[in-house]
Structure 1
Amino acid sequence: MILGKSNGPSYAGTPNMSASKMEVYLEQAKLRLGFVKSRVFRRIATIVVSFSLILVAIILTARLTNVGEVLPKVLGSFLPKIPTCASQNQSGEQDVWKKAEAKYKGLMSDKFTIAMQTYQRPKELNDTLKAILSEDVPSLHEVVIVWNDLETKPPANFVSKFGVPVRYRVSKHNSLNEKLWPDPDYKTQAILLSDDDVYYHPKDLEFVFQSWRKFGQHRLVGALARCATVDAYGNWAYTFCSSKVEEDIYDMILTNLCFSHISFLDYYSSNTTTMNAIRDYVDEGFNCEDIALNYVQSLLTGDGPLLVQGREKYVNFVPSKGISTKKGHMAARSRCLNDFAKMFQCMPLVDETAHIQKGVLVM
């Protein structure tokens, strides 16, 4: 019987084909194994593993420490921000300031006036006045109460037992700018800007004034320092400062207890385009007049403020109500820093590290 030729597939070569594929697979496996053992692969693997370990370490450190607070400061120094006025050779309208200095040159330089702002806090005001006027402060010429409560008649003017006149000045309107107004009736170049809930002890007050005369007539000199730092996004942030190494700087003094030359108040109250905008901003937000005055002083002089402490710590009642107790206060202050820098077209604040404290350090 003769079989016909089959048209179906032939399987005669199947074993050879399987062996060929196996050889290919083995060859590819050898190549892969060779790559794994190669120096290039080991280097890549080392980099990947190292990066992974570093990433894990950063995450764990951020969760277990305060690196989350430090890292933005480090990163922020590399990010763009509003340039400093010094780097832009900006120093404000010097002619306006020089005219102010000349205008007040005839005022007493060996005495000072307290300008104390108050609003519906009679207890704090009376307690502060009682403390300040309880002892003789030789250089204190006058106390002016900036009365911002327009609905209530102020008490009558009086003279303390040490002969210091106390004058109540009713504001034109309830504005934080009123305390910074250069009252034409002032008789002294030095003005101690103050709130009704904070004061130096009388014996320290004279020391702080004399320190202002010797070292700080071109600065704002006071008890409470504050800081402007750069965050991770290049924006200025308002902080309470830090005593940590490499962070022990400050660039503002709060005007709730602060000596200022009257010429700075005159510039602040001037009719320049920038200062008009600044005062309107302060009135609109009812905040940040102290930041603005620090900008003015540093802009005009190129110097930072000066922190001066007495032998005893200043007294601060920290009332239950007030601007600083409102929710969002710190964020609002940070906005002021950035908005004012835009208005001035540069950042005027200057870092300072030194401070003065009454007493002798015995070694």
Structure 2
Amino acid sequence: MSRLIAIRDDDVSAASEALANGGLNSPAKEKATNRGAYGCRSPLLLRRARQLLAVTKLKVILFICGFCVVLLFTSSIISFMGWNLDYSSSVSSPSRGGYTVLINTWKRNSLLKQSVAHYASCSGTDAIHVVWSEIDTPPGTLKTYLKKVVFSQYHAAHKPNFKFDINEEDNLNNRFKLIEELKTDAIFSVDDDVIVPCTTLNFAFAVWQSAPFTMVGFVPRIHWLEKAKNGDQFYEYGGWWSVWWTGTYSMVLSKAAFFHKKYLDMYTHKMQSSIRDYVSRERNCEDIAMSLLVANATGAPPIWVKGKIYEIGASGISSLNGHSERRSKCLNDFISLYGTMPLVSTNVKAVDARHEWLW
């Protein structure tokens, strides 16, 4: 059975007009165009992309606004509390004093020149003393050079004093001899091949000022009770990797550390002479002796300051085979002379939060 389809006159007229115009205004073609049949991208995907872009922009704007609020709030708090984040200005303030850099050297004049030039440029340096224990006195050319370096490197109105502390014999105890003419309470003891950036050094000095009778330094070490030998307690000396693994330390080495000048007098005149004799004989462990001295006087742990330091010389005695065993022997021999274990362990370290993103 055939089906009749009614066609109205107006439909016929519209079709005839479309054919006359080449079919460009066909309703079917317009509908296809609207659906994207003749476009390059789908409107649905385009809308989704635009929505995603709008959300991303909103998140970025909110993050920037939140960061600005936190920054403004932090600045307001700092201003309100009167905190001073410029350590260079605080350490050079006449009312608070600076520090004396005590450099231990041994036949490494090229390293000594670099070290003196660097520490002379630090704003907190009040004086530089070089502990000289060589048989020959410092060459005149070296003295003249270093004095010129100190004068030229320091740009402030105050120039640090510079002096060689000359000793007649080669002895590791020389690095802790009493210095009568010191004007600062703070001593920064450092080896000639260790460079601590000035900003880091000034931060450590600010930490030391908060606890001036303990040691504050950059090279932590640890001790622990390992086992009993013949019924006696035996302690092991642990290096950097032991500190890293346990997160604990009980010493900071005097190769880069602050301590009060009174400990020079105590080391020279009040510490047991048998300990100084031991250091002279073994040519080692003067830094352990100083750590024990300070811990015994305070009953408190040292403070480790986290900061980047640079060793500009070749490897020292710490790289030799058997170094840890010799250090452990020193530690136990000293403890036997004290009759007790003065060292106090801790897991606290000082960090400059301005340079830390996560804390």
TM surpasses 0.5: yes
Larger-Rg structure: 2
Distance 1:287 1:326 in 2: 13
1:160 paired residue number: 151
Pick from 296, 299, 317: which aligns with 2:296? Answer: 299
Unaligned runs of 5+ in 2: 1-93
1:80 paired residue number: none
**Cα drift, residue 359 of structure 1:** 3.0
Residue 309 of structure 2 corresponds to residue 314 of structure 1: yes
Contact 1:109 1:189 in 2 (8 A): no
| Pair 1:195–1:231, CA change in 2 (3 A) | same
1:185 paired residue number: 181
SS at match of 1:114: strand
Distance 1:225 1:199 in 2: 16
Residue 139 of structure 2 corresponds to residue 139 of structure 1: no
Pick from 350, 353, 358: which aligns with 1:356? Answer: 350
Distance 2:108 2:288 in 1: 23
The two structures have a TM-score, normalised by structure 1, of 0.64
**Cα drift, residue 108 of structure 1:** 8.3
The two structures have a TM-score, normalised by structure 2, of 0.65
Query: Aligned-pair RMSD on alpha carbons?
Result: 2.0
Code of the aligned partner of 1:160: F
SS at match of 2:97: strand
Code of the aligned partner of 1:181: K
Distance 1:211 1:315 in 2: 20
Distance 2:250 2:103 in 1: 23
Contact 1:198 1:314 in 2 (8 A): yes
2:86 paired residue number: none
| Pair 1:207–1:227, CA change in 2 (3 A) | same
Contact 1:221 1:253 in 2 (8 A): yes
**Cα drift, residue 109 of structure 1:** 5.4
Regions of 4+ moved over 4 Å: none
Q: Which has the higher helix share?
A: 2
2:4 paired residue number: none
SS at match of 2:247: coil
- Structure 1 segment 144-293 matched on structure 2, within 5 A: 144-154=129-139, 155-156=142-143, 158=147, 159-161=150-152, 162=154, 163-214=159-210, 216-233=211-228, 234-240=233-239, 241-244=242-245, 247-270=246-269, 272=270, 275-293=272-290
**Cα drift, residue 248 of structure 1:** 1.4
SS at match of 2:345: coil
Distance 1:306 1:209 in 2: 11
Code of the aligned partner of 1:144: H
| Pair 1:160–1:357, CA change in 2 (3 A) | farther
What does the per-residue CA deviation read over 1:62-93, in whole Å, with 9 as the maximum and x for residues that have no partner? Answer: xxxxxxxxxxxxxxxxxxxxxxxxxxxxxxxx
2:48 paired residue number: none
What does the per-residue CA deviation read over 1:335-354, in whole Å, with 9 as the maximum and x for residues that have no partner? Answer: 01100000000110000111
- Structure 1 segment 87-166 matched on structure 2, within 5 A: 110-133=97-120, 135=121, 137-154=122-139, 155-156=142-143, 158=147, 159-161=150-152, 162=154, 163-166=159-162
Code of the aligned partner of 2:136: E
Contact 1:223 1:307 in 2 (8 A): yes
Distance 2:183 2:135 in 1: 25
Code of the aligned partner of 1:265: L
Contact 1:108 1:189 in 2 (8 A): no
SS at match of 1:167: strand
Distance 1:217 1:277 in 2: 27
Code of the aligned partner of 2:212: Q
**Cα drift, residue 171 of structure 1:** 1.4
Distance 1:352 1:110 in 2: 29
Contact 2:137 2:166 in 1 (8 A): no
Distance 1:314 1:242 in 2: 17
Code of the aligned partner of 2:279: V
**Cα drift, residue 317 of structure 1:** 2.5
Contact 2:111 2:313 in 1 (8 A): no
**Cα drift, residue 132 of structure 1:** 2.6
